[in-house]
Amino acid sequence: MSDPVIKDPILSVRNLTVGPDDSNSPPILSDLSFDLASHEILGIFAETGGGKSVLARALANWLPPTLAFRGGDITFKGRSTLTGDGHSMLKPGREIAYIGSRPQSSLDPTIPVGPQLVEKLHAVRPEMSAGDARQKILKLLTEVRIPSPEERFDEYPTKYSGGMMQRAMIVDALCTDPAVIIADNVTQPLDVTIALQIVRLLQQLARQHGVSVLFLSSSLSTLNQVADRVLVLQGGKVAEIGETQSLISTPKTAYTRSIIEQIPRIWMSTAAPVVSTRSSDEPIMSVRDAKRTYYVRRPGHLNSYNSVQAVRSVTFDVMPRDNIGIVGESGCGKSTLTRLLTALEKPEQGEILFNNRPFNDMTQRELTAARQRFQLLLQDPYNSLPPRMTVGRMIEEGMRIHGIGKGAAMRKRVEQAMNDVGLPTSIYNHLPNSLSTGDRQRISVARALVLEPQLLILDETVSALDQSEQNKLLALFSRLQTEKNLTYIFISHDLAMVRRVCSRIAVMYLGELVEIADNRNLFYSARHPYTKALLSAVPTVEDNPYDSAKLLLEGEPPSPINIAPGCSFASRCPFAMPVCREKAPALTAVAPGSAVACHLYDANEMPQPASTEMRPQNAELH
C-alpha cells in the first residue's frame, strides 16, 4: 500500500531492497517505500523475523557485513545517501541516532555511564570542550528524569536499572543533536509502567528537540500509545500504512486485520478463566509468611552491610489446576520469589510447602525427587538451552537425573513429549541453533513435561515472543492443562497475558503482596492504588478505564535497602495519608479469596484479617 505524499519529508525511502551478499538468496526487505515527516513519530510494526531490525540498521548505516543494499534509495534532508555501488554515505550515530532493545549490553560495564556518554559526544563533536560536553550530558540526564544526575553520572552501568539504562541510551542518542531517532523495540524488555514512561518521554523530547522518531515494535498496542502513523511490514514488504487510529479501527488488508484480531482484549471482553468450586482440595503449593533478605557490602566499608529485603512476609496458596499470576514492576521481588518457589533458595523466615510437605523438612534426596513434580520454565530460551547439545539429549536430561527410563523407552517418552508440544521428532538429533524463539521455548516445555510434573512455574516464559507466537504457546499451555491436569504459576509483567490465562492474580510491590483477587475483580474493580497504576499503563487497542494521566507512576520504585516505616507505596501513592507513613497496612480480606493491603479501606470494609490460606473460592480451571 502506498504512503500518502508528505511535503518535504526529513527522511524518504524509495524501493529499498536489502538482503544477503549472495544475490541468489531472497531479500529480507523488498521494495520498501515510505516517508517520515519532520517532528513525526512513525511506528513500524513487524512480527519477529519480519525485517524491522534490518530496516533500522539499514537506515542508521549499521548493516552487518553479511548484508548489503541491493536497490532503491534513502533520501535524508533532500539528499540521496546511497552511492551507485550500494553504500550509505551517512555517518552512524550523528544525524540519525539509534536506540536498541538491549540497553544493558550497550555500554562498557567497566567505565562509569557519564564518561562514556561524554566520550561519544566528543567523538561526534570534537570541537566541544570537556566541561561543555559534561554539562550537556548532565542537562540531558536531567531531561530524561534520571534521579540525582550528578551522582548517577559517575556510577557504573551495573548500578542502573533497565529503565534507567534505557533513559541513558536516549541521552546517548540526543547528545549529538540528531534530526531522526530510530527506536528499535526499546520498550520490549521493560515492565508496563517504565515502558509507558519511556514512550511519553520520547514523545516529549521529540517535541522539545524537534526530532523525528521511527519507533519499531512487534506490539501494535505499544504503537497505539506512541505513533502518529503506523507502517505494517509483512515478509519484508509494506502491507499497509496509515494514521494509527484509522489503521487499528479500519485495517485495509487481511494481514493487518489478523494481527489486530490476535491482540488480547482486556476490558472489551468479559471472558476470563472459569473455575468451579472444589473445597475438598488441598493446596498443591503453599507459601507461609515467606521472607528473603540479602546482605550486600556497603560501598567503602569492610565489615558493614546493607540488607536488601527482596521478599517480605508473602503468603498465598496454589490450588490444583489453578492458574495464578504474580505481577509487578521490575525489582518487586518476583524473581526472588521464583527462586523460593523452586527451592533454589530457602526463606530465612516462614516456609513453603509442596503437597503439604515443607521444603525445609526434606532431605536433599527427597527434594530432588520432589523437583520432578514441579518444573521451572525460564524467560530466555537462548541462554537456558545449551547450544552444543542436541534437542533430544536436552529433553532427556531430566530423565537421566531422576533415573527414569533407558534406551528405546527413554526415546519413546521424549518423542511423545515433543509431539505434545508440537515439535517434529525429526529434529531429535539436531542442534537448536537454527530454531525459532517459539520452538526453543517448546523445547523447554518438553523438558519439563517429560518428567510428568504437577506444577509448572513460568518465569516470563512468553515475554520474548511476539503476539502470534505467544498466542500459540498459550494455546499449548491450555491444551496441556486439560490433558494432563497441570497447575500453572505465571510470573510476568505482561498484564494482557495474565488477564487471558490466570484465574487469580497476586500483585507484588517492594517484596510484599499488596493485592490478591480473582481475574475479573482485579481488572474491573482494582482496589490498591498500585494495582490501578499498573493497569493504567497497559498498552491496548481499546479504551482503558484506568486513566494513566492521573494514575501513572513516575520514576523508579524505592530501593529495597532500609525500607521506610509505614506503607512501602506511600512515597509514590497519589492518595497517601499521614497514617500511610506511620503504619504498614496488613493484607486484609475484602471478599472471598480477595485481599488488599491499603489504609484506604477502613475496618468496616475489611472486617477480618486475611486467612493464612488465602485460597480461592474456586479451584479447578476449565
pLDDT of residue 493: 85
Read off the pLDDT of residues 505-533 as tens digits, 9 standing for 90 and up: 999 999 999 999 999 999 999 999 999 99
Same domain, 160 and 70: no
Lowest mean pLDDT among 213-217, 467-471, 475-479: 467-471
State which of 247, 263, 279 marks the end of a domain: 263
Is residue 27 located within the same domain as residue 3?
yes
Domain membership of residue 425 (yes or no) is no
Say if residue 498 is in the same domain as residue 366.
yes
Mean pLDDT in residue range 536-540: 92
Q: Which domain holds residue 322?
A: 287-373+453-621
Question: What is the average per-residue pLDDT within 74-87?
Answer: 80
Q: Over 70: is that where the pLDDT of 603 sits?
A: no
Q: What is the pLDDT of residue 104?
A: 75
Most confident of 190-194, 231-235, 615-619: 231-235
Q: Nine-digit cell at 501?
A: 490465562
When pLDDT is cut at 50, 70 and 90, the band that residue 146 belongs to is confident
Name the strands in the sheet holding 212-217, side by side, starting at the edge strand that comes first in the sequence.
Answer: 96-99, 180-184, 212-217, 41-45, 229-234, 237-243
User: Region 32-61: what's the mean pLDDT?
Assistant: 91
Q: Is the pLDDT of residue 151 over 90?
A: no
Q: Which range is least confidently modeled, 20-29, 236-245, 351-360, 531-540? A: 20-29
Contact 184, 99 (CB under 8 A): yes
- Examine the domain organization and report whether 60 and 76 are in the same domain: yes
Q: Name the grid cell of 350.
A: 516462614
According to the model, what pLDDT value does residue 413 have? Answer: 94
* Same-domain check for residues 294 and 327: yes
Check whether 617 has a pLDDT greater than 60: no
Average pLDDT over residues 28-38: 94
Q: Check whether residue 251 and residue 353 sit in a common domain.
A: no
> Residue 339 corresponds to which cell in the numbers above?
527462586
pLDDT tens digits, 325-337 = 999 988 788 989 9
For β-strands 594-596 and 374-377, DSSP reports them as unpaired
To the nearest whole number, what is the mean pLDDT of the chain?
87
Distance CA 167, CA 65 (A): 29
Three-state DSSP at 262 gives: helix
* The predicted structure's pLDDT at residue 254: 96
Is there a contact between 295 and 305 (Cβ–Cβ < 8 Å)? yes
CATH number, domain with residue 366? 3.40.50.300
388 in a domain, yes or no? no
560-566: list long-range contacts, CB under 8 Å, 24+ apart: 560/308, 560/309, 560/310, 560/331, 560/333, 560/510, 560/511, 561/296, 561/306, 561/307, 561/308, 561/309, 562/306, 562/307, 563/309, 563/510
State the Cα–Cα distance between residues 505 and 9, nearest whole angstrom. Answer: 47
pLDDT: is 153 or 493 the higher one? 153
> 358 and 311: one domain?
yes
Inside any domain, residue 186 = yes
- Burial of residue 367 (CB within 10 Å: 0-12, 13-18, 19+) is middle
| 73 beta partners | 14
Q: Are residues 16 and 71 in the same domain?
A: yes
- The average pLDDT across 379-396 equals 88
More confident: 261 or 84: 261
What integer pLDDT is reported at residue 273 of this predicted model?
66
Q: Are residues 91 and 117 in the same domain?
A: no
Q: How confident is the model at residue 304 (pLDDT cuts 50, 70, 90)?
A: confident
In a domain, 60, yes or no: yes
Q: Are 61 and 97 within 8 A, CB to CB?
A: no
Hey, how many other C-beta atoms are within 10 angstroms of the C-beta on 468?
A: 14
pLDDT over 90 (residue 239): yes
Cβ contact 314:513 at 8 Å: yes
Which of 241, 448, 429 is closest to 342 using CA atoms? 448
Asked whether residue 507 falls in the same domain as residue 595, the answer is yes
Any residues with CB less than 8 A from the CB of 81 and at least 6 apart, and which?
61, 73, 74, 75, 88, 89, 90
Instruction: Report yes or no on 407 lying in a domain.
Output: no
Q: Is 463 a residue whose pLDDT tops 70?
A: yes
pLDDT in tens, 440-457: 889 999 999 999 999 999
Q: What is the pLDDT of residue 140?
A: 93
Write the DSSP symbol of residue 486.
Answer: -
344-358: b (≥16 Cβ within 10 Å) or e:
ebebeebebbbeeee
Least confident of 92-96, 212-216, 218-222: 92-96
Q: Does residue 386 lie in a domain region?
A: no
CA 352 – CA 285 distance, rounded (Å): 7
Examine the domain organization and report whether 563 and 484 are in the same domain: yes
Domain-embedded: residue 418: no
Going by pLDDT thresholds of 50, 70 and 90, the confidence category of residue 317 is very high
Same domain, 87 and 118: no
Q: How many domains does the chain have?
A: 3
Does 269 reside within a domain? Answer: no
